[in-house]
């Protein structure tokens, strides 16, 4: 697939996206397109975006991630963000950013169990 | 409009394309680190610069981010975001949380910057441009 900006791992019906690149605006948009098309192609039921390497998340990037989650939800897929660094979370909270549509988890393991739970409840 | 002179600052980043937003936040991050800011404050300062640089790119097309260290009783970082773009018609509304003229935005840039930094100054004139100046003190504890 062209336009792949992030490496992804498929595990069961889950798509794990460890973000290992600096997110600029076009990258974040390309990542959104990539995730949505992989959901469709690979029959994904849950997406885990690992942001543990990200040290700056601003309002636009947060908005795009949240928009991705809402679109994924419309495709029957839950989205979990895991590993957010504490100072990144603190900064977003102080700015008043509210990431709608997203489930948060501490790490991959926590993310997987939250996805399983979200599936059970839906 | 306030006159910002290059020679008064320690560092300058030209914002011309989208990737310059990343360059600006990386440069300010290193600058704040060298000044001895805490990790939490470095993150706040770099996030604020990311917002200001994006506004320059998105609304004015191009402009500059100036950075300097102010020494006084307490060290502080000062950042000026300057452009000669379209300006802001209603500045008061623009700094309110949730105000945006962009589709697909939270409108939390300027209000967020104001919350993240210690001081916030904005001046804008329609068809002339916008100047935003923010500072943050280095807390030592
Ligand atoms: N440098 C600028 N030149 C002209 N207009 C600006 C500039 N910066 C901000 N604005 C105006 O002020 C509004 C509010 O800006 P702010 O950064 O708070 O939110 P946003 O850019 O719309 O959304 P977000 O930053 O959350 O993605 C913008 O929608 C725009 O109309
Ligand atoms: Mg903005």
> Where do the structural domains in chain A lie, given as residue ranges?
9-102
Give the CATH number of the domain where residue B62 resides: 3.30.565.10
Domain range for B42 is 6-137
Residue B1, in any domain of the structure: no
Mutate to test the pocket of ligand 1, among A28, A56, A57, A59 (most ligand atoms within 8 A of CB): A59
Please work out, in degrees rounded to the nearest 5, the angle formed at the alpha carbon of residue A31 by the alpha carbons of B13 and A63: 70
- Token pair belonging to B78: 């000062």
Is the pLDDT score of B47 beyond 90? yes
Interface test with B, best of A60, A68, A89, A102 (most B CBs within 10 A): A60
As separate numbers, helices (DSSP H) first and strands (DSSP E) second, chain B gives 4, 5
The DSSP symbol for B107 reads: S
> Residue A1: which pLDDT band, with cuts at 50, 70 and 90?
low
> Residue A3: which pLDDT band, with cuts at 50, 70 and 90?
confident
Per residue in A10-64, pLDDT (tens digit) is 999 999 999 998 898 899 999 999 999 999 999 999 999 999 999 999 999 999 9
Interchain contact, B97 vs A96, CB within 8 Å:
yes
pLDDT at B72: 87
Per residue in B27-45, pLDDT (tens digit) is 999 999 999 999 999 999 9
Residue B36, in any domain of the structure: yes
Neighbours of A100 (CB within 10 A): 11
Residue B20, in any domain of the structure: yes
Per residue in A59-88, pLDDT (tens digit) is 999 999 999 999 999 999 999 999 999 999
Closest Cα of chain B to A94: distance in Å?
7
Q: How far is CA A64 from CA A38, B36, B110, in A?
A: 17, 32, 18
Which position has the higher pLDDT, B59 or A3? B59
- Token pair belonging to A51: 């942001």
pLDDT at A2: 61
From A118-122, B34-38, B125-129, B134-138, the region with the lowest mean pLDDT: A118-122
The interface predicted TM-score of the complex, written ipTM, equals: 0.93
Distance from C-alpha of B46 to C-alpha of B36, rounded to nearest angstrom: 14
pLDDT at B104: 82
Tell me how long chain B is.
Answer: 141
- Token pair belonging to B21: 């937003």
Q: Cα dihedral sign for A67, A70, A72, A78?
A: positive
B95 CA: nearest ligand 1 atom:
18
User: Which one, of B33, B117, B93, lies nearest residue A55 by Cα?
Assistant: B33
Q: How buried is residue A23: exposed, middle or buried, by Cβ count under 10 Å (0-12/13-18/19+)?
A: buried
Is the pLDDT score of B136 beyond 80? yes
Is the pLDDT score of B4 beyond 60? yes
Q: Between helices A86-95 and B39-55, what is the axis angle to 10°?
A: 50
Instruction: Give chain B's domain count.
Output: 1
B112 CA: nearest ligand 1 atom:
18
Q: Is it true that domain A9-102 has CATH number 3.10.580.10?
A: no
Look at ligand 1, atom 28, and give the residue with the nearest C-alpha: B100
Per residue in B80-132, pLDDT (tens digit) is 999 999 999 999 999 999 999 998 889 999 999 999 999 999 999 999 999 99
């Amino acid at each position: 697939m062209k336009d792949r900006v992030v490496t992804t791992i498929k595990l069961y019906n889950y798509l794990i996206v460890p973000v290992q690149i600096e997110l600029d605006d076009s990258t974040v948009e390309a990542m959104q397109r990539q995730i949505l098309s992989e959901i469709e192609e690979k029959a994904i039921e849950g997406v885990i975006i690992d942001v543990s390497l990200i040290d700056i998340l601003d309002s636009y990037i947060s908005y795009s991630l949240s928009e991705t989650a809402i679109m994924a939800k419309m495709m029957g897929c839950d989205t979990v963000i895991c590993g957010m660094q504490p100072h990144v979370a603190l900064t977003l909270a102080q700015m008043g950013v509210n990431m709608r549509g997203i489930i948060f988890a501490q790490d991959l393991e926590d993310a997987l169990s939250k996805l399983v739970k979200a599936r059970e409840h839906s | 409009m306030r006159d910002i002179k290059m020679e008064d600052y320690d560092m300058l980043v030209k914002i011309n394309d989208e990737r310059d937003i990343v360059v600006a936040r990386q440069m300010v991050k290193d600058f704040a680190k060298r000044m001895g800011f805490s990790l939490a404050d470095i993150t706040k300062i770099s996030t604020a610069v990311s917002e200001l640089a994006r506004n320059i790119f998105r609304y004015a097309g191009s402009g500059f981010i100036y950075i300097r260290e102010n020494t006084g009783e307490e060290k502080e970082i000062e950042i000026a975001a300057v452009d000669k773009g379209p300006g802001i018609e209603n500045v008061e509304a623009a700094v309110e949380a949730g105000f945006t003229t962009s589709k697909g935005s939270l409108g939390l840039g300027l209000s967020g910057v104001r919350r993240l930094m210690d001081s916030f100054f904005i001046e804008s004139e329609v068809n002339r441009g916008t100047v935003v100046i923010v500072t943050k003190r280095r807390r030592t504890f």
